[in-house]
Structure 1
Amino acid sequence: MSLAASDFSPLAASARSRAQAPRVSAVVSRSMAEDAGTPGRVVVVMAVFALLYGLIALRLIDLGMSDETSSSGYIGAQQAILAARPDLVDRNGELLATDIKAPSVYAEPRKIVDVDEAIDKLSSVLPELGSDAMRKRLESDAGFIWLKREITPLQREAIHRLGIPGIGFLTENRRFYPGGPTAGHIVGIANVDEQGIAGLEKYLDGQGIADLQHFGFATDQALKPVRLSMDLRVQHVVRDELSKAMERYKAIASVGIVLDVHTGEVMAMSSLPDYDPNDPGEALKPENLNRATAGVYEMGSVFKSFSIAMALDSGKVTLDSKYDATKPIRIGGFTIHDFHGTRRVLTVPEIFVHSSNIGTAKMTLDVGIDQQEKFFKRIGLLDKVDTELPEVAAPLLPRKWSEITAMTASYGHGISVSPMQTAVAGVALINGGMLIEPTFFPRTATEAAKGAKRVISKRVSDMMRYLFRLNAVEGSGRNARVAGYMVGGKTGTADKVVDGRYAHDRRRNSFLAAFPMDDPQYLVLVVLDEPKPEEGKYYATAGMNAAPTVSKIIARIAPMLGVVPHMSEDSDTTLVSY
């Protein structure tokens, strides 16, 4: 196509400009019209967003008002995942309790397509889930339910492979006790929700652990280990020797306690039969009761230690005082006699060594009935023992403190206390006269002294150490001696009450001991319930079973506790300054 020169003339350009003018005007008009419609579109967009937000708000309201089981169950599950407890360790750092991870299986019933199929598959791995009750729960409109807490990894894998819609898993903290039953009664139990329900686990909840869990601060990283006063090595020895004694003497139960006499720390405490805290159901069996603190019993002649200490501290009786034990005492239809009667006048040391009921009763009357009650109160025998364990029983006391009551109580009949009460009162007799509340947590002697209470004079305490040692050399405690450790103590053989009457063929035997008696460091108490005579022997008194059990315990734990033996010591020496 050829172009003419006229195409570039000014006239031609003017003509073209006029021809294009209408088209430009039309475009401008259309643009102005579009601009005029923009506010309408903005309003439409805003309305759409408002509708969306409104729908979201309605859904949130609906969820908030939905099935309570769903919301509370899910929240509870999250709390269970977050909840943790501190490790418990013994005084040397040995692990007693810790958290481990364990899977738990849950269901979202609204998402389950076929309940029958789900039940059949689940019960193939966990038969207990095949119940009618579980079927009803899965048929409900709940949003979340637990199926089983703390399953094994193998069970988790098996259920996962079933591929059931609406079934899921959460990993929780589970409490694990490496030592099993070794210290079960001390440590206690925590349930699947990491809540302490017995022993020191329960005590710690009351000290703030439960609040930390509630507010979400109880995590594995946030909680430091809690150290106990117990020595796991000593605890093992005590439990082991109690177990052997029960087998040897065919006893039905036993108790063993070791206390530091200067701090009141519980170094060991065992009560058999016991339970494994990894199997909490065992704790509910009556025979597995913690007899050391939650049981109360007549302790028999061990109480003569307290009665004689009371008499000596009163100033009305001295070690040279004498009492006629030639005849039984008859009072109010009762007869008080001696098991191994000497039928002669006895000095106070002889009353202790020969365990004379007659001499102890007469000595108590010399001091006074009111004074006896006051002294027993002062030394902690009339009140519940104050300690961290929740399982603590109150003593059973006479309804009226009469003359006959005072006489029988002087040798441990008619009054029932816990073994721990007996041990704590026993500590005051040999540590210089200071009553110290027991503790399951570490404490120094200085800290203990701040809360200690003087109950007898130091001089009387020295006299009691002499009597304890004398009994181990010449009396019923001879079988408790350990070469080099100067053991001393007092036996107690108490007839058990059966159907309201004393049964002479059923006894509860005990031996209250301490070592070394020239400078006491530790107290040991052993109680055997219904021990039988060994083959070829007629008697089953405390001197024949409880005392030798104490001897075996001391021989094993003394080196562990750093007590240096005096091997040059004559085993028959009674040298205790008073």
Structure 2
Amino acid sequence: MIRTPLRPLARILSARQAGQDPDEIEAELRARRHAEIQDRARRRAEGRIKWMALGFMLAFATVGLRMGAMASSQPSEPRVHASGAQIISQRADIVDRRGRVLATNLSTHALYAHPQDLVDPATAAAKLARIFPDLDAERLKRDLTGERKFVWIKKKLSPEQMQAVHDIGEPGLVFGPREMRLYPNGNLASHILGGSQFGAEGVSSAEVLGMAGVEKAFDGWLRDPANAGAPLQLSIDLTAQAAMEEVLANGMKVMNAKGATGILMEVASGEIVAMASLPDFDPNDRPKPLLKGDPSDSPLFNRAVQGQYELGSTFKIFPVAQAIDEGLINVNTMINASSPMKIGKYLIHDFHNYGRDLSVKDVIGKSSNVATVRIAQMLGPERQQRFLRDLGFFEPTPIEMTEAPTGKPIVPRRWPAVTAATVSFGHGLAASPLHLASAYATLANDGRRVRPTLVHRKEPLQGEQVLSPRAAGAARDLLRYVVTKGTARQAEVAGYQVGGKTGTADKPRPGGGYYKNRNVSTFAAMYPADKPVYVLVVTLDEPKVSVAGGGELRTAGATAAPVAAALVERLSPLLGLRPDDVKLPVIEPRPADAVRISAR
């Protein structure tokens, strides 16, 4: 350890010899050191003050230059920037595949009141009740004459209503600007769009949120400023959608059906061109959901996506196509169709007695339950389940709608021999019409899986191969035979080679068992059958057609098939699909025209 002496020893000794006091010498040195420290501190402080002064000078100079630039700029510049920010922050439009508007925004106003500023609250309440008949006049009067400082009156106003409120002349009635979601086509595509509602809201703005359909499924995208206001382009065609809803509504009326749904899908891409569910609603005035009873009684219920139906004989093509793919049968193989067929304690019947043997072609054409079960028995339950799973019948459809997860098929927990038998002809497994459309599109697409979508894409998504092109082609030929010679002859449309399958299923009772006089009738089709472009599925809920001499018809061949034919005939020209056997007439020139041409 090095010790530092308090006083320099040499100085002390020399000071004593000279007769000086060492303490005075030490005090002098201490004072000198303190003076040096103070000088250094003063110099540092002066340097800091100089730098701070320089910084303030630069800051004031910058502010001054910016103010000068703003003062000399044009007033329109900041308005342009503010307008751009507003456009980016608003909810994006929704358009169809051709860019036509399906959902957009409308500038409007909300109405609220400051009761303390009202001159005559009671009279104002009475006049407001006349302008807005849906308001409770007595409650409004209590709110405006009570102790409240703020009262919401209406969150959306029409221009006429706004003018009528202006005419009241009360200073305590205040308008707040906001945007509302507008669906200019009313009920058209209502289940697809879904609707919207206000979220967080204030007196001068309100947040618009999707509450169902694609509005909710794409809520984040529609509100994302990074999209710079670009619209969401759906795959549906507005013209085709309108035509489908019109034809379907007429068919529902003629067939006395409780409800109806129709789906038109592109085979190559899986894009849904039109999809309707009836009854429907106006998303501008979305009704409240049912709190009890059958959900399908509500117009909000989307039968195409949420409906879970046993789709009947439309399923028969699946075990037949799979058995052809496995090499177990071909279209000419003879199948035992003796009816009834007993499995355990259950008996399986055919609608008619078709005799002992049927070719596979006639099994589909005549729609034999017994023969279809025998083909399914060749496959076995495990292979049957695997193929149906590959077609998408064990999971919700990947459609871009918030309702899609609620449409998960009802699949049996156990798969004994009797379940395998009933599922082969469309009973015991309930799925949505959209599941059926996707599965038929896979058959039409040479066995490559097709997943439905509502988004218009430049490049279609390629699915996995679940069936050989050979077997898929044979299935298409069989479906064409059903329309030309089988149970779906009323679905034939000249020039379009429709191929499809009818399916009639009894509706299950809520407590178990089935109704005897309530059916779900379905027709699933593809066309043109030799090289399909579209898949069409039509489902009618509880149809019935009166026949001459009494009685009613409920089968799909008499109800869903003719409605599908009307849709093919109406939609195809709108989509540019010309009939293949209709030739344009050759117009021969008249003699006068010939003379005129030769004279030139």
Q: TM-score, normalised by structure 2?
A: 0.76
Structure 1 residue 505: Cα displacement: 1.3
Question: Which residue of 143, 150, 157 corresponds with 2:156?
Answer: 150
**Secondary structure of 2:218 counterpart:** helix
Q: Distance in 2 between matches of 1:188 and 1:228?
A: 13
Match of 2:187? 181
Q: Who is 1:387 aligned against?
A: 399
447, 460, 468: which one pairs with 1:447? 460
CA distance in 2, matches of 1:203, 1:137: 40
SS at match of 1:160: helix
Q: How does 1:198-347 map to 2 (within 5 A)?
A: 198-206=212-220, 208-210=221-223, 212=225, 222-281=228-287, 286-288=297-299, 289-347=301-359
**1:435-463 residue CA offsets vs partner (Å, 9 max, x unmatched):** 1211111124x4322xx111101111110
The residue matched to 1:159 in structure 2 has which SS?
A: helix
CA contact (8 A) 2:544 2:559 kept: no
What residue number does 2:518 align with?
506
**TM (normalized to structure 1)?**
0.78
In structure 2, the CA distance between the partners of 1:568 and 1:179, relative to structure 1 (3 Å rule), is: closer
State the Cα distance separating 1:323 from its structure 2 match.
1.8
- Displacement, 1:338? 0.6
**1:409 aligned partner:** 423
Corresponding position: 1:497 with 2:504 = no
Q: 2:470 maps to which residue?
A: 459
Aligned match of 1:70: none
Alpha-carbon spacing, 1:334–1:170, altered in 2? closer, same or farther (3 Å) = same
* Cα separation, 2, equivalents of 1:313 and 1:110: 80
The 1-side partners of 2:197 and 2:155 are apart by 11
Shift of 1:522: 0.3
> Is the CA contact 2:89–2:223 (under 8 Å) kept in the aligned structure 1?
no
Distance in 1 between residues matched to 2:94 and 2:222, nearest whole Å? 13
Alpha-carbon distance in structure 2 between the residues aligned to 1:563 and 1:123: 55
Provide Cα deviations, 1:157-201, integer angstroms capped at 9, x if missing partner.
222222223220123222221221121111121124421111111
Higher relative helix content: 1
Structure 1 stretch displaced more, 529-538 or 432-441? 529-538
Structure 2 Cα separation of the partners of residues 381 and 350 of structure 1: 26
Residues 1:436 and 2:450 aligned together: yes
Superposed CA RMSD in Å reads 2.4
Matches within 5 A, 1:353-392: 353-392=365-404
- In structure 1, the partner of 2:572 is 558
Residue 547 in 1 paired to residue 561 in 2?
yes
Whole-Å separation in 1 of the counterparts to 2:535 and 2:383: 26
**Counterpart Cα distance in 1 of 2:224 and 2:269:** 30
Secondary structure of 1:172 counterpart: strand
User: What amino acid does structure 1 have at the position aligned with 2:363?
Assistant: I
The number of equivalent residue pairs is: 479
Distance change (3 Å), C-alpha of 1:357 and 1:80: farther
Q: Which residue of structure 1 lines up, in the alignment, with residue 70 of structure 2? A: none
Contact 1:81 1:172 in 2 (8 A): no
Quote the residue 1:56 is aligned against.
none
1:84: Cα distance to partner? 3.1
Unaligned runs of 5+ in 2: 1-84, 199-206, 584-600
CA drift of 1:318 comes to 2.5
Q: Secondary structure at the match of 1:435?
A: coil
Aligned partner letter, 2:304:
A
Matches within 5 A, 1:111-190: 111-112=117-118, 115-127=121-133, 128=135, 130-132=137-139, 135-136=142-143, 139-140=146-147, 142=149, 144-190=150-196
1:447 is matched by which residue type in structure 2?
P
* CA distance in structure 2 between the partners assigned to 1:506 and 1:121 by the alignment: 52
- Cα distance in 2 for partners of 1:211, 1:485 equals 44
Match of 1:25 in 2: none
**CA distance in structure 2 between the aligned counterparts of 1:357 and 1:131, rounded to whole angstroms:** 65
SS in 2 for 1:351: helix
Structure-2 separation of matches of 1:161 and 1:275: 34
Structure-1 separation of matches of 2:192 and 2:432:
15
Counterpart of 2:590 in structure 1 is none
For the residue of structure 2 that corresponds to 1:270, the secondary structure is: strand
Q: How far is the alpha carbon of 1:394 from its aligned partner?
A: 0.8
- The 8 Å contact of residues 189 and 280 in structure 1, kept in 2 or not, is answered as yes
CA distance in 1, matches of 2:375, 2:395: 24
* C-alpha displacement of 1:94: 2.0
Check 1:475–1:205 CA distance in 2 against 1; reply closer, same or farther (3 A cut).
Answer: same
Note the residue ranges of structure 1 that are not aligned, 5 or more in a row: 1-78, 570-578
Match of 1:478 in 2: 489
Shift of the 131–328 alpha-carbon distance from structure 1 to 2, 3 Å rule, reads same
**Aligned-pair CA distance for 1:403:** 0.6
Residue 507 of structure 2 aligns to a residue in which SS? strand
| Structure 2: distance between partners of 1:108 and 1:539 | 64
Distance in 2 between residues matched to 1:347 and 1:134, nearest whole Å: 79
| Distance change (3 Å), C-alpha of 1:133 and 1:439 | same
SS in 1 for 2:384: helix
Q: Which moved more, 1:94-103 or 1:178-187?
A: 94-103
Q: Percent identity among equivalent residues?
A: 38
For 2:214 and 2:429, locate their aligned partners in 1 and report how far apart those are by CA, in whole Å. Answer: 28
- 1:60-97 deviations in whole A, cap 9, x for unaligned? xxxxxxxxxxxxxxxxxxx9999732222211222212
Pairing 1:30-109 to 2, within 5 Å after superposition: 84-109=90-115
- Change over 3 Å in CA distance of 1:83–1:159 after alignment to 2: farther
* Residue-by-residue CA offset, 1:49-70 (whole Å, 9 max, x unaligned): xxxxxxxxxxxxxxxxxxxxxx
Higher mean alpha-carbon deviation, 430-439 vs 155-164, is at: 155-164
Query: How many Å apart are 1:509 and its aligned residue?
Result: 0.5
SS at match of 2:163: helix
Provide the secondary structure at the position in 1 that maps to 2:268.
Answer: coil
Give the CA deviation at 1:269: 0.3
SS of the residue corresponding to residue 287 of structure 2 reads: helix
Residues 540-577 of structure 1, C-alpha deviations (whole Å, 9 max, x = no match): 311112111111111111122222322169xxxxxxxx
CA displacement at 1:114 relative to structure 2: 5.7
